Amino acid sequence: MKPKSKLQAQVFELSKTLPSITKTQREWAYQHSFEHIGRRSAKGVITCCECGKTFQGDGELIDNLLGAECPHCSAKLKVQTTRQRIFKQTEYFCVATEKAGFQVLRFYLVSAHYKAGQKAQYKINEAVQRWIAPNGKYAIIARLRLMSYYIDLWDFSSKLEIRPEKTVYNIMPACIYPRQKLIPELKRSGYTGDFYRLSPFDLFHTLLSDCRAETLLKAKQTNLLKYFANGNFSKIDSYWASVKICIRNGYQVKDVPLWRDYIDLLLIFGKDLHNAKYVCPADLKAEHDRYVEKRNEWHKRQELDKAKQKALEEEGLLKEMKSRFFGIQFSDGLIQIRTLESVVEYVQEGKAMKHCVFANEYHLKPDSLILSACIGDRRIETVEFSLSKMQVVQSRGVCNLNTEYHNRIINLVNKNKRRIQRRMAA
The CATH number given to whatever domain includes residue 394 is 3.40.630
- Whether the pLDDT of residue 134 is over 50: the answer is yes
* Cβ atoms of 367 and 387 closer than 8 Å: yes
Q: What distance in Å separates the CA atoms of residue 364 and residue 285, rounded to the nearest whole number?
A: 24
Q: Which pLDDT value is given to residue 232?
A: 61
Report the pLDDT averaged over residues 127-134: 96
Q: What is the pLDDT of residue 426?
A: 61
Residue range of the domain that includes 321: 317-425
Does residue 83 register a pLDDT over 90? no
Radius of gyration (C-alpha) of the chain in whole angstroms: 25
Say if residue 271 is in the same domain as residue 362. no
Query: In the predicted model, what is the mean pLDDT of the chain?
Result: 89
Q: Identify whether 165 is part of a domain.
A: yes
Q: 390 and 330: one domain?
A: yes
Task: With a cut of 70, say whether residue 303 has pLDDT above it.
Answer: no
Decide if 201 is inside a domain: no
| Most confident among 59-63, 249-253, 297-301, 306-310 (mean pLDDT) | 249-253
Residue 186 lies in a domain: no
Residues 375-386: tens digit of each pLDDT: 999 999 999 999
In a domain, 163, yes or no: yes
Residue at a domain's end among 130, 160, 176: 176
User: Residue 398 falls within a domain, yes or no?
Assistant: yes
Considering the domain architecture, whether residues 139 and 275 belong to the same structural domain is answered as no
In a domain, 302, yes or no: no
Rounded Cα distance, 370 and 341, in Å: 9
Q: Whole-model pTM?
A: 0.69
Same domain (yes/no): 162, 228: no
74 vs 72: CA distance, rounded Å = 6
Is residue 421 domain-shared with residue 373, that is, in the same domain? yes
Compute CA distances 360 → 39, 312, 323, 337, 355, whole Å: 53, 17, 20, 22, 9
Tens digit of each residue's pLDDT (9 = 90 or more) over 26-67:
999 998 988 888 888 888 888 888 888 888 876 544 444 457
Same domain, 291 and 322: no
Same domain assignment for residues 140 and 274: no
> Euclidean distance between the first and final Cα of the chain, in Å?
26
Shared domain for 378 and 265, answered yes or no, is no
243 and 352: one domain? no
- For residue 304, pLDDT over 80 is answered with no
- ∠ CA 169-151-94, rounded to 5°: 50
pLDDT tens figures, 84-94: 888 888 999 99
Q: Give the 3-state secondary structure of residue 169.
A: helix
259 and 160 housed in the same domain: no
Residue at 199 is within a domain: no
Number of structural domains (the chain) is 3
Q: Identify whether 160 is part of a domain.
A: yes
